[in-house]
Amino acid sequence: MKVKASYLPYLLILPAFAYLMFFVGYPLIQALYLAFTENGAFSLATVNRTISDPRFWDALKYTIGLAAVIVPTQVGLALVLALVMNRAFKGKDLALYALIIPLTISDVAAGLIWYAMLSPSGFLNKLFLNIGLIDNPVYFFGYQFRHMEFLAIVLAELWRATAIVFVIILAGLQMISPEYLEAAEVFGADYWTKLRKIVIPLLKPSIQSALIIRTLFAMQVFGIVWILAGRDIPILAGEGFYQLTEIKDYGVASIYALTIAALSIVLGAMYIKFMKAEYLEVKE
């Protein structure tokens, strides 16, 4: 059967459009319905019930706080690692595999690993006690040690998810033509000048992609926080899960989900708006 050429683009995007409508569009409409209706009529009662609960604001604060600490740290670490791994040295392949291994581990498994390491009788406390660095175990878990729980979550997330940022930035680095750097050397540019004037500007699209992906994941963080801190440190995804499974309040759970979606869309749009590489901008 011959397809008219003008219809071909629409036919090609049809499967993706159908996928998005079924797996994103329908749940989104259902969440909006649950959040903004009561007994079949429009109502803000569920919204008022949610925002009058202090745990909603605590969850919002901790979700944004974790993302604000974890995402920039991961980008900085990944950039340094990518610059190192972009050089040729003995054992580079082995080091690359070692860096990427945490990427293959689920967040729940990563949470269990770090819980075992940081518990009072865990590996880290035993090591520090044996070498005489501490006299008593350091407590990372428990409501009275919430600041340490926060630290444990940050460490676990840095260990588990820096690899995905690293892979994106390393791929971007390897796409930069050596001719640019060689030309800069001819004009006497040192390492830091080349990094500041050539490498970082050309890496902007990769850093932008890494920031968008990592921030979206940070807004949805759940498994590691749930394993290491439970509800001691409330987060949006965790509180939404609790409302859905324990309280059975589907409307409030929907508002938590919609808040995560709204944050993700706003932050993604900001990255696209403010981090676009200058050389990709259309000059009018």
In this prediction, residue 49 carries a pLDDT of 93
Domain match, 1 and 99 both = no
Question: Per-residue pLDDT tens for 111-138?
Answer: 999 999 999 989 899 999 999 888 889 9
Structural domain count, the chain: 2
Going from the C-alpha of 81 to that of each of 75, 199, 258, the distances in angstroms are 10, 14, 35
Domain match, 233 and 128 both = yes
Domain match, 3 and 78 both = no
Domain match, 137 and 201 both = yes
In this prediction, residue 274 carries a pLDDT of 83
- By percentage, how much of the chain surpasses pLDDT 90? 65
Domain match, 133 and 95 both = yes
Domain match, 88 and 111 both = yes
Q: Phi-psi category of 230—alpha, beta or left, where left has phi over 0 and alpha has psi -120 to 50? A: left
Question: What's the CATH code of the domain at 156?
Answer: 1.10.3720.10
Question: Per-residue pLDDT tens for 52-100?
Answer: 999 999 999 999 999 999 999 999 999 999 999 988 888 888 999 998 9
The answer to whether 174 and 206 are in contact (CB under 8 A) is no
Domain match, 200 and 66 both = yes
Range of the domain at 231: 54-275
Domain match, 153 and 253 both = yes
Domain match, 139 and 20 both = no
Domain match, 97 and 237 both = yes
What number of other Cβ atoms are within 10 A of residue 171's Cβ? 13
Domain match, 5 and 122 both = no
